[in-house]
Amino acid sequence: MKILITTTYYLPNVSGITIYIKILAEEMVKLGHEVTILTSWHDPKTKKEEVINGVKIKRLKIWFKIGKGPIYPGLIGSSIKEIRRCQAVNCHLPQPESVWLGLVAKIFGKKLILSHHTDLSFWKGIKNKIIDGGVFVCQVGSGLLADKIISYTNDYARNSYYLKLFLRKVKQIYPPIKLENKINLTLTKKINKAIYGKKYVIGFCGRIAKQKGIELLIQSTKLLDKNLGKNNYVILMAGPIKVIGENYYEYLQNKYRKILKEKFVFLGNIERSELSNFYKKIDLLVLPSDDILESFGWVQIEAMKCGTPGVATDLPGMRIPIKITKMGELFENKNVTDLADKIELVLKKGKKFYQKRAGNNLNKFDYQKSIREYEKIFRN
C-alpha cells in the first residue's frame, strides 16, 4: 500500500521524532509498502527530493518561521497531490498543518492516523502561549478527523491534556526502538580518554535543550562530589549541541562554565548506528527531563539493551521503561537531592544487579512488534 508520512521537521534535524519516523518509514518499505515523507526544507544542504533506503522524501520551501514553526505554503498543493495517490496518511504531532492534512484526507476518503509524540510546552510569554494555543486548536481539529491516534504509552495518554480529549481513539504502540551495533574506533578512543582514571561514568544522551533537565544534573554534582568523591566520576554528554530555535548550550556554558569544564565531556552528536559504543562504556544513563514534553525517553531502552541501567524522572510515559524492566531507578521531578541519591544507588548496585532484575522484560520493547501493529492500523 501507499503511505504518506507528514512531519514538520525531518533528518538531518536529529530528534527522537525524526529517528522514530525514519525507522517506521524504512521498516514499512521492507514490508513492501511505498512510503513518502512530506516535510519542510529546513536545511539548504539537503536535496528537495531524494530517496533514502527506499523512502521518498519531499521537502518544501520555507517562506518564514513563527517561533520554531516553519511556514511552507507549498504544502497545500503538494499534500493534495500526495494524499490523492495514497491509502493512508500518517501525521506526526506536534504539527499545526495536521488539520489541513486531515481535511484533505477525509475529502478523498483516506485513512488518517496521528502519531502523538509530545504535548505542547506553553512556555512563558504571551507570544509562546499564542503560538502554542494556535497549534493546539489545529491539532484538536485533526484529532476530531483522525481514525486512530498513536500514543507511546497509555500512561502518557491518560495524563496528556491533548490525548485525554480522544482516549477512545488512542492506541498504545511502544516506539520502534531499533539499535545497531556499528563499531567506531575513533569514538571509542575519545570516550576512553574522557573516562580514564574515573571509577564511575555517568551518561546522558539527547539534545542539549531546556526541557531535558540538564541544569538539574549540573546542580547534582555538588552532592555527587560528596557521595562519590570529587574526582571519581565523569559525566559524558552525547547529542546535538545546536538545536533549532534554541541557544541553551550557550546559556549553560555562561552560567556553569567551571563545573562543565571539570565534570562534563560533550561528545556531540553520535550516529544512531554507533550509539551502542557509548551506552556500553557508561555505568548508567540519566534522563532528568522535567517537562511533559518528554513522553517516553527511548534512549533508556537503547541503553538497557546494551546492559546499562538508567535513572529517570518519575513523569507520565517517561517512567514506563524503568517500571516495566525494573532496570533502574526513578526520582522525583526537579528534586536534585533525590536525583543524586538515585544516581549513587544505581552506581553502587552496579550493572549486573539491574541486568539480573530485568530478566526478559526488555523483550516487551521489540521494535518489530511495534512495526507490525502500525502496519495493521494502516491496513484496517
Q: Is the pLDDT of residue 123 over 70?
A: no
258-310 pLDDT, tens digit per residue, is: 999 999 999 999 988 899 999 999 999 999 999 888 999 999 999 999 999 99
Contact between residue 362 and residue 327 where contact means Cβ atoms under 8 Å apart: yes
Radius of gyration in angstroms for the set of CA atoms belonging to the chain, rounded to a whole number? 21
Lowest mean pLDDT among 87-91, 199-203, 268-272: 268-272
- Top pLDDT among 272 and 175 is at 175
User: Is-contact 182 377, C-beta < 8 A?
Assistant: no
Q: What is the pTM of this model?
A: 0.91
Average pLDDT of the chain to the nearest whole number: 94
If one counts every other C-beta atom within 10 angstroms of the C-beta of residue 288, the result is 25
DSSP letter for 229, please.
-
Beta strands in the chain (DSSP E): 2-6, 34-41, 49-52, 55-61, 64-66, 69-71, 88-93, 111-116, 148-151, 170-172, 200-205, 233-238, 264-268, 284-287, 310-313, 328-331
Tell me 306's DSSP state.
T
All structural domains of the chain: 2-172 (3.40.50.2000), 185-364 (3.40.50.2000)
Q: What share of the chain in percent tops pLDDT 70? A: 99
With bands split at pLDDT 50, 70 and 90, how would you rate the model's confidence at 124?
low
CA distances from 22 to 10, 11, 92, 137, 281 (A): 8, 8, 12, 27, 26
**Cis before residue 12, ω within 30 degrees of 0?**
yes
